[in-house]
Each structure stands twice: as C-alpha cells, then as structure tokens.
Amino acid sequence: MNEKNVLFTIFGGTGDLAQRKLYPSLFRLYKKGNLSEHFAVIGTARRPWSDEHYREVVKGTIKTLNPSAEEAERFASHFYYQSHDVNDSSHYQTLKELSDRLDEKYHLNGNRMYYLAMAPQFFGTIVSHLKSQKIITEAGFNRLIIEKPFGSDFHSAFELNEKIRQVFPEDDIFRIDHYLGKEMIQNISAIRFANNIFESQWNNRYIDNIQITFGESLGVEDRGGYYDHSGALKDMVQNHILQVLALLAMEPPVAFSEKEIRSEKIKALKAIRIYEKKEVLENFVRGQYAAGQLDDQTFKGYREEDNVDPESTTETFVAGKFTIDNFRWSGVPFYVRTGKRLTEKGTRINIVFKQVPVNVFKTSIDEPCNDPTLPPNVLTIYIQPTEGFSFTLNGKKVGQGFATDPIKLEYRNSAEMVENSPEAYEKLMLDALNGDSTNFSHWEEVAQTWHIVDVIRQVWDQVQPDFPNYKAGSMGPEAAFELLEKDGFEWIWQPDHWYRERGKLD
Ligand SMILES: NC(=O)c1ccc[n+]([C@@H]2O[C@H](COP(=O)([O-])OP(=O)(O)OC[C@H]3O[C@@H](n4cnc5c(N)ncnc54)[C@H](OP(=O)(O)O)[C@@H]3O)[C@@H](O)[C@H]2O)c1
C-alpha cells in the first residue's frame, strides 16, 4: 500500500469540479488506503463557510459511494475551510498559518499538493503568492495540479508557464487532461505495444486512415459563458484530441516509463504538419448548431442558449484532417471530429486498415460481386460511455456461393467492471501523489499543441463563418462528411443513420 502524508490545498474548494470529482476521488483513495490518516485538505474560496458546513458539503459529495456514517465522518474530519480571495495578498497569511498548523497536527512532513480548481485567470496570481507568502515548504514535496485550459493560445500559455516555472520545477507541475486518466485511453498503449498483430501493422503500409471522434449529445448547458469565449477547437482539439492522437501516432517507447513515453509523444506532436492558411481552409471545418429535433426531443440553437451571444460566431463543432510528416505516417490522414448536440454521446477511435491488394471475390462465378472493394478491417477503441474494442473482419456469407460478409468481434468491459474501476480523477490524483507525471501534459506538449491550433484559429478569425450550419441532433455540417469523401473515405461511426432510417431525424 502506498500511503502518503500530505496536505491538499484546493483552490476553488466550493466549486463544481471540487464537489463532483475531487472529493469523491479523495474518498476513494482514502477508502483504498492510498491516503493514510496523515492527510488534511484545506478547501478555499471566497464564500464564508465554516469547517462544519464544509464537512457537511464534503459528506454530501460522497453519498453515492455509500460510506458508513462513521467512515464519512472520519473522512470529513480531515477537511478544513478557509475563506480566501486569491487576489488579496493578506489572506495568504491566514492560509499559511492554517497550513502549518495542519502540518504539525497530522505530521505531514511539509508535503503539499496545491490543486487549482478555479478559472485560469487566477492561476498566475495564486502560484506567485504561494512563493512570496512562503506557503511552499522547505522540507517535503510541493506539487501543483492545474486544470485546463492552460492558456488560450501559445503566447498566453507561455506567459503562464513562465510564471509557474518561477515557483515550481516542471517535474512538480501536473497539468490535468482528464482524458489521460481514462481507462481506454491508457489502454491504447496496451493494444499497440502488447499485440504484435497490431503493432506490426501500425503504419502507412497497412493503415488507410485513423478517425478520432469526441461526440457530445449535450449542448453547452450552464457553461455558455465560458464556452462562448473558447469554442470546440480550444476546448477539445488543443488538449484531449491531440493528446490521444499523440498516443496513437508515437513510436514505441524503449521502456514504458514517464520519460520515454513523453519523449515519443513530443516527437509525434512535432511531426504534425503546421498548416498554411490555404491548408487550414481545405482541411478544417467548423460548425455551430441550429435548433433541431431528434426522436421526440427538440433542442434550441446554440445562439439561443443562456449566456451565449445571440450573434455568436463560436464553433460548437470541429472536424479536421491532421497530416503527420514522418516515415511511419506519411500519407495517412488522421481525421478528428468533436461537437456538441450531436446524435449520440461517444468517444471512440477507428483505425481503418487498407484493403487487400485484389478482391478475388469480385470474380466469383457463383455470385458475382458488383462492388469491387471489400469493407475495410476496422479496429475500434471505445473510450466512453462504453469501454472496449471491436474488430471487423470479412468472412464468408453462410450458404451456397461465395459472397463475403463483415463480421464484428467485440469486447466491452462489463458495467460492473466500469463501475468499480477507478475514476480518471482518482487515478490522476494518485499519480500526482506518487510524483508520476506520465498521464499529464508536459509543457513541451502544451506548447506544440498550441502552435498547431493557433494557426487554425488565426485563419478562422479572418473569415466570417456561415453559422449556424448543422441541426442539433445531427452529426455536424455537410462539409464534415465531404472532408472525407474528397479523399475517398467516410466516417466509420455514423449513429445518425439509425435515426434517419426510422424517420426520427431529418
Ligand atoms: N467542472 C468541471 O467538470 C471541469 C472539467 C474540466 C475542467 N474544469 C476546470 O476546472 C476549473 C474549475 O471549474 P469549476 O467548474 O469547478 O468552476 P466553478 O464551479 O465556477 O468554481 C470556481 C471556484 O472558484 C472560486 N472562486 C472564484 N473567484 C474566486 C476568488 N477571487 N478567490 C477565491 N476563490 C474564488 C469559487 O468560489 P467562491 O465563489 O465561493 O469564491 C468556486 O469555488 C476551471 O479551470 C475549469 O475550466 C472543470
């Protein structure tokens, strides 16, 4: 068992992320014995809560995990609340005194984790104060966990990073990309590097194209204010999608260690072509949802959502083609797509293999096949909501003659397995406690992904989009389908077909 004596200071301790993800994750770690009795949590935010009220809130957040009353009480007793405005220097003195007192009380040996669960404009000031007000300890470790977004372009990310690096060395900075904590994202490496059948084929000789879809059926819900200033490109492509792409495209690391994986991911990201203006317009498509109907549900358009500018030109959908200029991937398009208010929620990866050189069955005498091509073999990795893989093969159609039929081999983690496996935030918090930053974004990765995305943003900012251009409930604008069609491909995952065939979607 890996127990750590540690003080967590959670900035934004009253917020949504802290309540929905962080407290339940800490409880699971506590229950599994990853946190000893020697830990304490300071939650800080402006509202004037008492410790008692804070502990009640914390207990409320772990209710669904069914703790006994005694267990919940014991866990919550480690939580302390400090009302604190992060812009007010004098408040940090109180925070320091409380931190030192808890350090002594719980024998924490000066080990501290600072979790910035707040809006990014506060990151710089918090970090500077941690140093200037001597909250950072001399003894023990001091680690920073920082939420996305990390900057809003390369320039702002660079400035933020410079500020943080004056206080924390890179090894102590844990930039969260919670997708990297997900079971099936971590499984990409197992599929690739533990199966010769795939690793031997994982290149431009055998793979036709790779498709990454991060689809959401929800709209912006109550995040309109934030989202309208961000958009899908910055919210999803710069971080989650490019991180997944790097894991799919990287060379095999010489060892499965933080340092070696990181170095391969960075090389893969550096091989992604940074587009010229013309290439951006040819290879990237943006969209914004209009009102729409799916099945019996009607949805309003993005511009009618709360806290969204009625003339907003923010994209709620992106589809694009990335090109990787290296020996392994030259000529293999990596298509990516993400959007809100799509037909179904689903994050999945499709690896589409090349056709056999000749389709001998097209000359079958018994049952001539009109289509000279066979359906491709496709390896699908399901990230969420279900977790698993499938692989489609072509087999013989049962019966007389010799026609082929696609056959799907499928494996899904059981609901019980998914339920009992650690949640992404739990895994990532434990990794950070252990000082393992394999599943976090390194500065060089962040910098490179901003370089890639910034040019797309700059080109788009010069051209007025024709929004809205897709109906809520569909799988995005027409141009997202044409993007693949002009290369002779199509999206493998088309959940909208099912609804269209049954008259449930226009
Ligand atoms: N929620 C999610 O699922 C999620 C997912 C991915 C990333 N994130 C990121 O996580 C961060 C937090 O998101 P969130 O959804 O938890 O936001 P939130 O619910 O708005 O919480 C913000 C927190 O900051 C506190 N706060 C605001 N101004 C403050 C100030 N001047 N001094 C001290 N505290 C202040 C608020 O409490 P008071 O009002 O009491 O001060 C509150 O606790 C953001 O960077 C977000 O992008 C969130």
The whole-angstrom distance between residue 23's C-alpha and the CA centroid of its chain comes to 20
Structure tokens, 485: 């069609």
The reply to whether ligand 1 has any atom less than 6 angstroms from the CB of 221 is no
The two structure tokens encoding residue 495:
């959940």
What is the per-residue pLDDT for 1? Answer: 45
Instruction: Please give the distance, rounded to the nearest whole angstrom, from the Cα atom of residue 14 to the centre of ligand 1.
Output: 8
Q: Ligand 1 pocket, 145 CB below 6 A?
A: no
Q: What is the rounded CA–CA span in Å between residue 153 and residue 496?
A: 34
The β-bridge partners of 395 are 405
Tell me, yes or no, if 240 is annotated catalytic. yes
Which atom, in ligand 1's list, is nearest to the CA of 178? 6
At residue 371 the predicted structure's pLDDT band, cuts being 50, 70 and 90, is: low
Residue 229 has pLDDT above 50, yes or no: yes
SS3 122: helix
CA separation for the pair 77, 14 (Å, rounded): 17
Q: Which of 435, 365, 454, 441 is nearest to 403 (CA)?
A: 365
Q: From the CB of 117, is ligand 1 less than 6 Å away?
A: yes
pLDDT higher than threshold 90 for residue 127 = yes
Cα 16 to averaged position of ligand 1 atoms, centre (Å)? 7
Q: How far is the CA of 501 from the centre of ligand 1 (A)?
A: 43
Taking 80 as the threshold, does the pLDDT of residue 137 lie above it? yes
85 lines ligand 1 (CB under 6 A): yes
Pocket test for ligand 1, best of 17, 41, 176, 235 (most atoms within 8 A of CB): 17
CA–centroid distance, residue 122 to ligand 1 (Å):
10
φ, ψ (nearest 5 deg) of residue 354 = -70, 155
For a pLDDT cut of 70, what percent of the chain falls above it?
A: 97
Look over the chain and give the mean of its residue pLDDT values, rounded to a whole number. 94
**Percentage of the residues of the chain whose pLDDT score is greater than 90:** 89
pLDDT at 364: 55
Catalytic residue among 155, 240, 451, 497: 240
DSSP state at residue 180: G
The residue nearest atom 31 of ligand 1, judged by CA position, is 85
pLDDT tens, position by position, 155-191? 999 999 999 999 999 999 999 999 999 999 999 999 9
